């Protein structure tokens, strides 16, 4: 599994920004395909890349390049083997959403996405014994 995390801005800058937003009760706009939505969110943008890669930008300006191939043989994400469904990915700020006409969408919230990024459940230590 290959994950690349690029972060801009210091931790102090990010914490200070959050404190100011909380103090002033300001909600950051979430940008989705150029449309601002009100409300707090986690994902700023997402783009499907060749080879079942995702480029995800968080509202904190962190960018994550995530290789989804190791998850495509799971029950949860098997539908994403359909390349058209995988490349349909977009965000509402709170979820990564894969949707294809006539199919049930696959939604991934921020907590689940970070679990996918940080924990390799495809290794032998996370598999059920045979």
* Alpha-carbon torsion angle 96, 15, 39, 102, nearest 10: 0
pLDDT digits (tens, 9 = 90+) for 111-124: 999 999 998 766 65
Can you tell me whether residue 102 is helix, strand or coil? coil
Residue 94: which domain range? 3-126
pLDDT band, very low/low/confident/very high, at 52 (cuts 50, 70, 90) = very high
List alpha helices for 2-130, DSSP H: 11-23, 83-86, 110-118
Can you tell me whether residue 104 is helix, strand or coil? coil
pTM above 0.75, yes or no: no
| Residue 8 confidence (pLDDT) above 50 | no
Count of residues in the chain:
130
Domain total in the chain:
1
Region of 39 on the Ramachandran plot (φ > 0 left; ψ -120 to 50 alpha; else beta): left
Looking at residue 85, the DSSP 8-state letter turns out to be H
pLDDT digits (tens, 9 = 90+) for 29-43: 434 443 334 456 899
Q: Count CB-CB contacts under 10 A for residue 69.
A: 14
């Amino acid at each position: 599994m290959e994950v690349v995390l690029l972060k801009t801005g210091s931790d102090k800058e990010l914490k200070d920004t959050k404190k100011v937003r909380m103090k002033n009760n300001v909600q950051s706009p979430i940008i989705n395909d150029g449309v601002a939505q009100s409300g707090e969110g986690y994902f700023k943008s997402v783009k499907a890349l060749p080879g079942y890669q995702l480029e995800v930008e968080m509202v904190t300006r962190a960018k994550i390049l995530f290789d989804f191939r190791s998850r495509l043989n799971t029950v949860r994400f098997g539908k994403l083997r359909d390349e058209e469904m995988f490349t349909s990915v977009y965000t509402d700020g709170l979820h990564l959403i894969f949707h294809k006409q006539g199919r049930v969408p696959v939604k991934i919230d921020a907590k689940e996405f970070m679990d996918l990024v940080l924990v390799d459940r495809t290794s032998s230590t996370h598999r059920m014994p045979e």
